[in-house]
Amino acid sequence: MSKDPINICANANCEKPIYLGDSVWKRGKDLFCHIKCVSAQLKEERAHG
């Protein structure tokens, strides 16, 4: 039996599938698989204004 991912990591360099029950980091409507993905995304946004 396979589970469908509920979302993918909002970090464009990661995009790892996120499954129900996984620990996730939320930022607004975005979900991230790891705190590192959140900070990487923040840096990315800062770099691109």
Q: Which is nearer to Zn ion, 16 or 30 (CB)?
A: 16
Instruction: Name the CA dihedral angle for 26, 27, 31, 37, rounded to a multiple of 10 degrees.
Output: -100
At its nearest, how many Å lie between Zn ion and the CB of residue 2? Answer: 20
- Residues 13 to 42 in contact with Zn ion, rule: CB under 5 A: 14, 16, 33, 37
Q: Cα–Cα distance between 13 and 3 in angstroms, integer?
A: 23
Based on the shown chain and the rule CB under 5 A, indicate whether residue 8 belongs to the binding site for Zn ion.
no
**Which positions touch Zn ion (CB under 5 A)?**
9, 11, 14, 16, 33, 37
